[in-house]
Amino acid sequence: MTQKMTTKNMIMAAFFLAAGIVLPFFTGQIPAVGSMLLPMHIPVLICGYVCGWPWGLLVGFVLPLLRSAMFGMPPMMPTAAAMAFELAAYGAVTGILYERLEKNMASLYISLIGAMIAGRIVWGLVSMVLYGVMGNAFSFQIFLSGALLKAVPGIVVQLVLIPSVIAALQKAKVVSK
C-alpha cells in the first residue's frame, strides 16, 4: 500500500509540476497580468494538499528553477531563486497544516492562508539575501509591493479557486477528508 501511495504521489506531483510549467503561458503574454495572477503558485499549493508536504516542497522548489532554465522566465536571479524557496514553503506548509488539522472548510482556509503568509515571509528573507549578494537594496517597501500589493489579484484567485478544487477532490476521494 505504501508503494502504491508513493507511486501515486509521484505521478500526481509530476502532473502539478507540468501544470506549473504550462499555466504561466496563459497569463504570460501580458507580464503584468502574469505576475499579478501568480499562476505557478496554484499547482504547488494544491500539490501540498494532494501529495503531502514532501512532494509539495519538492515541486515548489523545482518549478521556478526548471521554468527559468527552460524558458528564461522567471529570470533566474533573483526572481526564480527566491521563488524556489517561496513555493517550497507553500507546498510544505499546506501539506503539513492540512495533515494536522481537521478536514473541513475552515481548516482548508487556515492551511492556505498560513502557507501564503509563510511563503511570502520566506520570499522576503531570501530576496533580501539575494538582492544583498547582488549589491542591490531590498527594502520593506519592495517586500510589501511584491508580496502583497501587486499580488492581490492572485491572492484572491487562490482563496476562491484552491478551496473549491480541494473540496471537489475530497468529494471525488482523491484527497482525504
Q: What is the pLDDT of residue 100?
A: 96
DSSP-assigned letters across all residues of 28-95: TTSHHHHHHH-TTHHHHHHHHHHH-HHHHHHHHHHHHHHHHHHH--S-IIIIIHHHHHHHHHHHHHHH
Residue spans per domain, the chain? 2-171
Torsion angle of C-alpha atoms 155, 159, 163, 165, degrees rounded to 10 = -50
| Percent of the chain with pLDDT strictly greater than 90 | 77
Average pLDDT, the chain: 92
Q: What is the pLDDT of residue 1?
A: 43
**Cβ atoms of 37 and 27 closer than 8 Å:** yes
For 27-39, the pLDDT digits (tens) are 877 766 777 889 9
For 4-18, the pLDDT digits (tens) are 578 999 999 999 999
Higher pLDDT, 177 or 174: 174
Distances (CA, A) of 78 to 10, 38, 147: 29, 17, 15
Architecture of domain 2-171: Orthogonal Bundle (1.10)
Distances (CA, A) of 99 to 10, 12, 125: 18, 17, 26
For 38-74, the pLDDT digits (tens) are 999 999 999 999 999 999 999 999 999 999 999 999 9
